[in-house]
């Protein structure tokens, strides 16, 4: 699948959301216009498509963060529209800010002078030094930046209840996504072996999750090759 059109749609929908929220055309408009919901759903759907085969950073850690963010944004914007809550709409929007925070953290971590030429291992003695371990790899830096940016965004929530529990809820959702990936992996092994049961709801749920990308990347790519072969 060519991702260039998806990237364009993803970027334009996100920019349109930000513009609509921060530069509203009419102050008399409803708290959460239907267009905002549409744009958010488009942005989240393209997010899942792009993240499905993402290999940046440490994929096993990075992909669930993006997927959890898309799920949270969808829940927030639907709840905001149903309850005419401007605060929940705001909370859905600020998750987009994580894109900028990720780049900022990457910049800070790769230019910081706090990293010395040597680093003491946790398991070593007090005077032991291990050279060449002070530099973070690009993958490690990006992974740390993604998590840091997500948590910064969670800290900017305005809704009283959401703001209080957003960070913890986000980490729980990421953990649940990781668990689901493991379950889907096991189920897809059965599917690959032609053991999928037509009447088994679990098999069909696992296949749906695989299609949207909630599956271990290695298994997902193997299944994709089987499908396109």
pLDDT tens-digit map of 108-133: 887 654 444 444 344 444 444 445 45
Other C-beta atoms lying within 10 Å of the C-beta of residue 214? 24
**pLDDT at residue 172 greater than cutoff 80:** yes
Alpha carbon of residue 121 to chain centroid: 31
- Count of domains in the chain? 1
Q: What is the pTM of this model?
A: 0.85
Across the range 37-49, mean pLDDT stands at 97
The CA-based dihedral angle spanning residues 217, 45, 143, 113, taken in that order and rounded to the nearest 10 degrees: 150
DSSP string, 11-58: HHHHHHHHHHHHS-S-TTS-SS-HHHHHHHHHHHHHHHHHHTT--SS-
Distance CA 45, CA 71 (A): 9
- Using one digit for the tens of pLDDT, what is the confidence trace for 46-101? 999 999 999 999 999 999 999 999 999 999 999 999 999 999 999 999 999 999 99
Q: pLDDT exceeding 90 applies to what percent of the chain?
A: 65
Distance set, CA 131 to CA 60, 81, 116 (Å) = 28, 55, 10
H or E stretch at 62: helix 59-83
CA 70 to chain centre: 6
Residue 201's pLDDT is 83
Q: Is-contact 202 187, C-beta < 8 A?
A: yes
121, HSE (Cβ side, Cα atoms, 13 Å): 9
Share of the chain above pLDDT 70, in %: 81
Confidence at residue 24, expressed as pLDDT on a 0 to 100 scale: 83
Please state, in angstroms and rounded to a whole number, the distance separating the CA atoms of residues 74 and 41: 6
What is the domain extent for residue 14? Answer: 4-228
Please provide residue 130's backbone torsions phi and psi, each rounded to the nearest 5 degrees. Answer: -120, 115
């Amino acid at each position: 699948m060519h991702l260039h059109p998806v990237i364009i749609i993803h970027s334009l929908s996100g920019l349109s959301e930000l513009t609509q929220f921060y530069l509203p055309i009419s102050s008399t408009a409803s708290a959460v216009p239907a267009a905002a919901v549409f744009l958010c759903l488009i942005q989240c759907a393209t997010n899942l498509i792009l993240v499905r085969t993402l290999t940046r950073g440490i994929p096993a850690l990075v992909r669930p963060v993006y997927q959890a963010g898309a799920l949270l944004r969808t829940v927030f914007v639907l709840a905001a529209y149903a309850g005419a809550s401007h605060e929940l709409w705001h909370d859905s929007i600020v998750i987009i800010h994580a894109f900028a925070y990720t780049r900022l953290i990457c910049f800070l971590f790769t230019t910081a002078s706090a990293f010395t030429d040597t680093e003491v291992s946790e398991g070593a003695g007090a005077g032991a030094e291990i050279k060449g371990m002070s530099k973070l790899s690009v993958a490690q830096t990006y992974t740390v930046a993604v998590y840091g940016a997500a948590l910064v965004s969670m800290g900017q929530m305005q809704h009283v209840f959401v703001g209080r529990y957003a960070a913890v809820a986000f980490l729980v959702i990421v953990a649940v996504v990781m668990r689901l990936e493991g379950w889907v992996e096991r189920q897809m092994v059965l599917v690959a072996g032609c053991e999928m049961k037509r009447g088994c709801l679990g098999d069909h749920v696992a296949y749906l999750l695989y299609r949207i990308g909630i599956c271990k990347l290695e298994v997902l790519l193997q299944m994709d090759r089987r499908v396109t072969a």
